[in-house]
Amino acid sequence: MLKTNVVRLREWKLSAIAWFLISLPGCSLIGDSSNDVKRLDNAGYDVTTGIFSTDPMTIKLDDQNLPAALKDATYDELVAWRTANTQINFDEILQLRSKNLTPADLTLWRGDVSDASYFYNRAYSPWLLIEYTNLNFSIRDALIWRNVGFSEPDFADQLSAKSAFEWRQAGFSPDLAREYANMNIAGEWIGPTEATALESAKSSKVNIDGWEILVLSDIKPDEIKQYQEFGLDPETAYAMLEANILPALMDDIKKNCRAFRWIDISADSPFDSKGTCYAYAGRVLQIIDQTTVLAEDGLGNTAKLSFSGSNAPANGTLIVARLIVGTGPYSYVAILGNRETIPSAKVLVL
């Protein structure tokens, strides 16, 4: 009676373990029950306690099904692989093991054997995948954006997954987004909003190369074209904008100036300044007549200024003129008796 119970217990234990093991893809306990029992006996199976002294998965379950390269795999490892991917087979396990990937790695790749292997070859880190997939990127799209440079770990970085999401939302391709994201204008990095403005300006057929800072200052392409046609360089135009000279005084400039230079008039030769326009800042040094003064800038350079239609300001008065036009050289005899030649100009707009 006891023997019968032991046999039944032995058969029940075998059946339960066999069904558990064959639930692992690629694993099976095949053959007659005596061979299965022999395998269990070889594992040190105690029928009275149901305990193995040897890990059951280390048994040669089936020499035909278990690859030789997996004969060192433990039960826990194979179960871990199956937990990461319920459909994984021995060949896939071998493929991942050959890359030193673990079941934990496969879990990070959400159980996708192809992706885990594919991205491993490109040193693609799982944390970045998680950032991208949390932003509704497919894994393949994430790789494309990562490969063009959106791979920084800081979520606030201009080359992060979050940045890639914002560029994609704005309709930019990965390559174009990367080009703009690397652009720094006046100390500021370009984002999707600024890039959209630049792309719109380009579509106007106005050459904005070098003029991007004006576009980002909300200057329309047609205005930029006027500045270009007048011969202004981007730096001068931007400085004039900052000084509120452009575009407000563009008509005055066109009417009165053959050119505009963003320098002090004294920096040019008095003989070259005629017809050229400048901005000016200085103080009245001496009144010559009702409408004319000698003025001195912050560097001590002297110029004669005429105020058309108004009286000259008093000595010591600060003059800030947004627009003056050179009228050529002016010569006078200084107190010490020497003759001085300085530039002269007419004040157009204070």
Q: DSSP letter string over 10-42?
A: HHHHHHHHHHHHHTSTT----S-HHHHHHHHHH
Question: Residue with structure tokens 């204070």?
Answer: 350
Question: Residue with structure tokens 């400085």?
Answer: 239
> Given this model, what pLDDT does residue 293 score?
92
CB atoms within 10 A of CB 229: 9
Whether residue 58 has pLDDT greater than 80: no
> Given this model, what pLDDT does residue 46 score?
52
More confident of the two residues 105 and 197: 197
For 249-349, give the CATH class: mainly beta
What is the crossing angle of helices 113-120 and 139-147, to 10°?
10
The token duo for 108 is 């990070």
**Reported confidence tier of residue 327, pLDDT bands at 50, 70, 90:** very high
Count the residues in the chain: 350
- Residue ranges covered by each domain of the chain: 2-97, 249-349
> Given this model, what pLDDT does residue 118 score?
63
Question: Residue with structure tokens 């050179």?
Answer: 326
Whether residue 226 has pLDDT greater than 50: yes
Contact criterion met (CB below 8 Å) for 164 and 177: yes
> Given this model, what pLDDT does residue 120 score?
60
**Reported confidence tier of residue 171, pLDDT bands at 50, 70, 90:** very high
Phi then psi for residue 76, to 5 deg, are -60, -40
The token duo for 85 is 């991917």
pLDDT, average across residues 38-63: 45
pTM as predicted? 0.50
pLDDT, average across residues 184-191: 85
Phi then psi for residue 275, to 5 deg, are 85, -10
Whether residue 34 has pLDDT greater than 60: no
Cα 89 to the chain's mean position, in Å? 40
**Largest alpha-carbon pair distance within the chain?**
142
* Beta-strand pair 339-349/318-333: antiparallel
> Given this model, what pLDDT does residue 60 score?
37
